[in-house]
């Protein structure tokens, strides 16, 4: 079985010394400043002159910023992360114009930050597993919780600080991934809220609801934060406590989705998903206007939608799909995504008749044509699998679904 070469990132926790932390925090601050100034320059130039500012223009502007008196401190940190920040901004603009991402936003200090060091800005000793960044005298104290590939040579290193005050290093290496043995098993997956996923073989994956588990602790911490004065030390302590509770839930969610996606990819040769518009489903619902009193809006216009938003984001549908996509590419599996408008919950998986829309509170129903009783989610997963296999044969899923 032939192996494929791919770039893979390994993420580790590390604990810097006070001197290293001081340098890293200054580096993150300079990276954030350069990114925001370049974004402001490009936006203002387009607004005033209707002229595009390229990556080369921002690189020349960075040279001028370093020579100015007020920004001379940019020379105290490595120049590589600053240049990489401009490259990341260019990538963000390209994604926006290609309709694959949002318009670049300004970076905030409260969100932490990251800095990328290319090969000439760090020193790597694979035998001793020592990683030393530019302008540092000692290697970082990294907790090697995973094993790196043998003779791995990192192409880039990204240092990040999250909102909870934790330091992480992401090491990008080129790895030979060996596909796992083929299997004849195929599965359809229907994503939900009550159950995270229903599989076409009848299995239903419970929704862990990690946000609900920490709801009381998080609410208490947020109320405590609201009573603090912004800018004070007590405010920063309370903010860190809120961020750590949120980070704990995010880590648990990611760990659960990694294990679930790996199991599904390993056990099935073909996986079929529905193309859900998660972003549209999570948008805030506009309040409904009261027809009896023009200009007034009904009080419950946002409440129901907000509750659904929290359930969807807590489930992590988009993250789960992303994991399935790159793991299927790694291990030689097939992932099929069918059209979002396919009526998977309306069709009887036994006879193929469309029985029309059903309210969300109807979790089981009986087909009036063949008198087969269905579980709503499992039936939808079976229809998704059948549609995905048809897409694989026809080669045009959207056209097949609309017809």
Structure tokens at 204: 């239903």
| 289 carries an active-site annotation | no
Q: Are 364 and 204 in contact (CB under 8 A)?
A: no
Phi, psi of 103 (to 5 degrees): -65, 140
Annotate 68-80 with DSSP letters as a single string. Answer: SSTTGGGGGS-HH
SS3 of residue 397 by DSSP: helix
Q: How far apart are CA 224 and CA 218, in angstroms?
A: 10
| 174 carries an active-site annotation | no
Query: What sign for the dihedral angle of Cα 72, 73, 74, 76?
Result: positive
Q: Are 162 and 150 in contact (CB under 8 A)?
A: no
Alpha-carbon distances of 46 from 34, 35, 215, rounded to whole Å = 18, 17, 44
Helices of type H across 214-354: 215-226, 233-267, 278-281, 303-315, 317-331
Q: How far apart are CA 75 and CA 82, in angstroms?
A: 10
- The catalytic position among 102, 162, 174, 190 is 190
CB-side neighbour CA atoms (13 Å) of 112: 17
CB burial of 45-68 (b: ≥16 within 10 Å; e: otherwise) equals eeeeeeeebebebbeebbeebeee
Q: Beta strand 142-143 with 364-366: parallel, antiparallel or unpaired? A: unpaired
- The catalytic position among 2, 175, 275, 377 is 377
| Nearest alpha-carbon partner for 309 in 288, 278, 334 | 278
| 377 carries an active-site annotation | yes
- The catalytic position among 2, 125, 267, 274 is 274
Question: CA dihedral defined by 349, 355, 360, 363, rounded to 10 degrees?
Answer: -50
Q: How far apart are CA 387 and CA 178, in angstroms?
A: 30
- Which residue(s) pair with 172 in the sheet? 9, 156
Structure tokens at 111: 């969100």
Neighbours of 369 (CB within 10 A): 13
Q: How far apart are CA 190 and CA 273, in angstroms?
A: 7
Question: Helices 79-97 and 55-67, interaxial angle, to 10°?
Answer: 150
Catalytic residue IDs: 190, 274, 377
């Amino acid at each position: 079985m032939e192996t494929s070469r791919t770039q893979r990132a390994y993420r580790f926790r590390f604990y810097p010394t006070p001197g290293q932390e001081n340098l890293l925090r200054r580096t993150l601050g300079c990276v954030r400043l350069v990114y925001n100034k370049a974004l402001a320059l490009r936006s203002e130039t387009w607004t005033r002159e209707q002229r595009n500012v390229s990556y080369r223009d921002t690189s020349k502007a960075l040279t001028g910023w370093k020579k100015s008196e007020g920004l001379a401190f940019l020379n105290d940190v490595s120049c590589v992360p600053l240049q990489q920040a401009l490259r990341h901004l260019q990538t963000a603009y390209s994604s926006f114009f290609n309709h694959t991402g949002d318009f670049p936003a300004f970076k905030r200090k409260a969100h932490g930050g990251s800095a990328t060091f290319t090969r000439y800005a760090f020193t790597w000793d694979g035998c001793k597993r020592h990683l030393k960044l530019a302008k540092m005298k000692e290697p970082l104290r990294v907790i090697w919780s995973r094993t790196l590939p043998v003779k791995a040579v990192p192409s880039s290193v990204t240092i990040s600080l999250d909102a909870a005050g934790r330091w992480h290093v992401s090491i990008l290496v080129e790895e030979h991934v060996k596909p796992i043995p083929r299997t004849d098993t195929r599965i359809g997956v229907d994503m939900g809220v009550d159950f995270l996923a229903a599989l076409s073989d009848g299995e239903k994956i419970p929704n862990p609801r990690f946000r609900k588990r920490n709801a009381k602790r998080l609410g208490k911490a947020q109320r405590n934060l609201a009573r603090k004065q912004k800018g004070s030390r007590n405010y920063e302590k309370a903010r860190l406590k809120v961020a750590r509770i949120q980070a704990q839930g995010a880590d648990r969610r990611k760990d659960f989705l990694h294990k679930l996606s790996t199991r599904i990819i390993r056990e099935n040769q073909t996986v079929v998903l529905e193309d859900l518009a998660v972003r549209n489903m999570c948008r805030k619902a506009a309040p409904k206007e009261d027809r009896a009193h023009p200009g007034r809006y009904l009080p419950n216009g946002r409440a129901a939608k907000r509750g659904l938003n929290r359930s969807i984001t807590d489930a992590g549908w988009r993250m789960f799909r992303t994991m399935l996509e790159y793991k299927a590419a790694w291990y030689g599996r097939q992932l099929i995504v069918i059209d979002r408008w396919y009526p998977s919950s309306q069709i009887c998986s036994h006879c193929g008749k469309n029985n029309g829309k059903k309210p969300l509170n109807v979790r089981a129903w009986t087909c009036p044509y063949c008198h087969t009783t269905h579980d709503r989610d499992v039936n939808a997963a079976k229809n998704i699998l059948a549609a995905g296999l048809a897409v694989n044969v026809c080669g045009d899923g959207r056209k097949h679904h609309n017809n």
